[in-house]
Amino acid sequence: MADEPPVSPDPNTAAGRDGDDPLDGVRPGDRRSFWLRETLASEPPELAAAAAAPQLTGSARVDVAIVGGGYTGLWTALRIAEASPGTRVAILERDICGGGPSGRNGGFVTGWWDELPSLIDRFGEADAVRTARELDKAIATLGPWCATHGVDASLREAGFLQVSAAPAQDDAWAAAVAACERVGEADRWRALTPDEVAARVRSPAFRGGAFMPGAATIQPAALARGLRRVALERGIAIHERTRVRGWSAGSGGGPLTLRTSSRRGAGRLEADQVVIATNAWSAAWRAFGRRLVTWSSYIVLTEPIPDRLAEIGWTGSEGIADARFTLHYGRTTADGRIALGGGGGRAGFGGRIGRPFTHDIGSARRAADGLRRWFPSLHDVRIEDAWGGPIDIDDDHRPWFGTLPGDRVHFGLGYSGNGVAPAILGGRILAALATGRANDDEVASLPIVGDGATPRAFPPEPFRSIGARVFREAILRREQAEDDGRRPPRLAHAISRLPRRLGSHLGPE
Ligand SMILES: Cc1cc2nc3c(=O)[nH]c(=O)nc-3n(C[C@H](O)[C@H](O)[C@H](O)COP(=O)(O)OP(=O)(O)OC[C@H]3O[C@@H](n4cnc5c(N)ncnc54)[C@H](O)[C@@H]3O)c2cc1C
């Protein structure tokens, strides 16, 4: 796919900070993420070798073909192997498994209790609660799964802390906390006083907060590559560096045919069922394009600073995010670094995933600025890495799963930047759909599955990306002003509220 034009300098942060470059000269996009480099470096040669997951050439036949080797595709394949042994499954991945966001995300494993009001708004109370509970159950399977399969993904079950980092963010969690109390799940998401927040981590920017004890963090690439290893051990065929260019239905109920390309040439894979697990890349497929806006998210990683973490009291390993719409999210690593991400990236155009998703210095700087704002005392700490990736935002701000007309192509998309935990659930849902067992697994009847879960369509291009860019500028200006204790410009404030006023589940009130 073609790249977007080069990114213009960001007026807020990109240009001319000689001597005060928060990125310390690190440039995103030059190499794979720290997480993935770390994981690949420790992989046994026989697993890392191209022969373990060869490019597809010629023709092959399977029962289920899965497009995309991130968490969604890998969990789906493993669930099929577990629930329907003997099913022939192949994964087709244009890069390497975990080469996409599954190998470079922030590693937050979070539930949906903080989003309960919008889940209730969309699906009603009983179904919303059932969905949030199922996601918690999925999270609870992660530790045992890693232990059983010898996957060391640095899972740390220390919870998730949302903080207010500006007066405008105060009590952002109040409605969700009240909703959890009302449905008898008060322990899942509870408000913290400023002192209780400070007992977990000290920042001059932090005020009150809320805590989700059932959440965790992981080393994301270790999980993705661990899933790949186990999939190979289960006999699942994986074809890396193999791009699916399209599919066509066979005549008279014959198999579907996926057309692929790789450096070694074209290939064809016939399958009875297909699962599309291509996350943000799905926005380029006609079937999904109108339901997704692609957006970039960037992370910066510090040098190891365990002593400095102790100074600010951040020793409990909880993941932390503020309550901006363009949120900052930070977590610590096993070797005492901080990885801090910023959601203030850019909207893409028409499903193209190009350099702005990986090489945007302005967005990486915004993440680094967030680190300094949260923890000014760490201003001298070196940034050692920075990287970005695409997220797939839909109008509901949560994923949906379903089957295209014809009943043989299934999909799971729209994670909206929160897919680590939901993809575990998604793999189970998609496995049930692809093997005709939807009636046997209760998660296939969750309200996030099927036509009723379809999010509203966004306007067609170019209006979609123009609208997203105008919204982004407005929300950044609004939230920057709120961070600085200034009154947001009126126009920016009004535009930032437009999506909600138009009935969307996106953006602030
Ligand atoms: C910087 C960043 C930070 C994030 N932080 C968090 C976080 O802390 N917590 C959280 O829950 N979520 C986070 N996310 C989101 C999370 O990473 C995703 O929701 C999750 O990884 C989705 O998994 P997936 O398997 O659906 O998609 P992906 O990991 O994107 O996998 C899709 C795969 O499909 C492949 N593909 C695409 N098109 C084709 C094709 N035509 N043929 C073959 N293969 C194809 C891609 O190469 C890719 O590997 C973050 C995302 C980013 C970018």
Domain-located, residue 21: no
How far is the centre of ligand 1, averaged over its atoms, from the C-alpha of 399 (Å)?
Answer: 12
Domain-located, residue 298: yes
Ligand 1 in contact with 67 (CB < 6 A)? yes
Residue where the block lists tokens 């989003």? 115
Say how far apart CA 420 and CA 447 lie, in whole Å: 19
Domain-located, residue 239: yes
Atom number of ligand 1 nearest to Cα 100: 49
Which of 393, 422, 448 is the C-terminal boundary of a domain? 393
Q: What is the DSSP string of 432-474?
A: HHHTT-TTT-GGGGSTTBSGGGPPPPPPPTTHHHHHHHHHHHH
Domain-located, residue 331: yes
pTM of the model: 0.94
Which of 393, 414, 434 is the C-terminal boundary of a domain? 393
Shared domain for 169 and 202, answered yes or no, is: yes
Ligand 1 in contact with 475 (CB < 6 A)? no
Domain-located, residue 31: no
How far is the centre of ligand 1, averaged over its atoms, from the C-alpha of 391 (Å)?
Answer: 7
> What does DSSP say about strands 160-163 and 209-212: parallel, antiparallel, or unpaired?
antiparallel
Shared domain for 235 and 330, answered yes or no, is: no
Shared domain for 133 and 81, answered yes or no, is: yes
Shared domain for 207 and 229, answered yes or no, is: no
Query: CATH number, domain at 261?
Result: 3.50.50.60
> Per the structure, how many domains does the chain have?
3
Other CB atoms within 10 Å distance of the CB of residue 32: 21
What is the phi-psi region of residue 331: left when phi exceeds 0, alpha when psi lies from -120 to 50, beta otherwise?
beta
Ligand 1 in contact with 218 (CB < 6 A)? no
Domain-located, residue 209: yes
pLDDT of residue 16: 35
Shared domain for 146 and 265, answered yes or no, is: yes
142: helix, coil or strand? helix
Domain-located, residue 226: yes
Shared domain for 179 and 264, answered yes or no, is: no
Phi, psi of 452 (to 5 degrees): -65, -15
Ligand 1 in contact with 360 (CB < 6 A)? no
Shared domain for 318 and 387, answered yes or no, is: yes
Which of 342, 367, 393 is the C-terminal boundary of a domain? 393
What order do you get walking across the sheet with 190-192 strand by strand?
190-192, 209-212, 160-163, 319-322, 328-332, 338-342, 293-302, 383-393
Domain that holds residue 470: 463-501
Q: How far is CA 291 from CA 1, 112, 205, 392, in A?
A: 19, 21, 36, 9
pLDDT per residue as tens, the chain (509 positions):
333 333 333 433 333 334 578 898 899 998 999 999 999 999 999 998 888 999 999 999 999 999 999 999 999 999 999 999 999 999 999 999 999 999 999 999 999 999 999 999 999 999 999 999 999 999 999 999 999 999 999 999 999 999 999 999 999 999 999 999 999 999 999 999 999 999 999 999 999 999 999 999 999 999 999 999 999 999 999 999 999 999 998 777 789 999 999 999 999 999 999 999 999 999 999 999 999 999 999 999 999 999 999 999 999 999 999 999 889 999 999 999 999 998 778 888 888 999 999 999 999 999 999 999 999 999 999 999 999 999 999 999 999 999 999 999 999 999 999 999 999 999 999 999 999 999 999 999 999 999 999 999 999 999 888 888 888 888 889 988 998 889 998 999 988 898 888 888 888 77
Mutation pick for ligand 1 pocket among 39, 93, 300 (CB with most ligand atoms within 8 Å): 93
Beta bridge partners of 62: 271
pLDDT of residue 325: 85
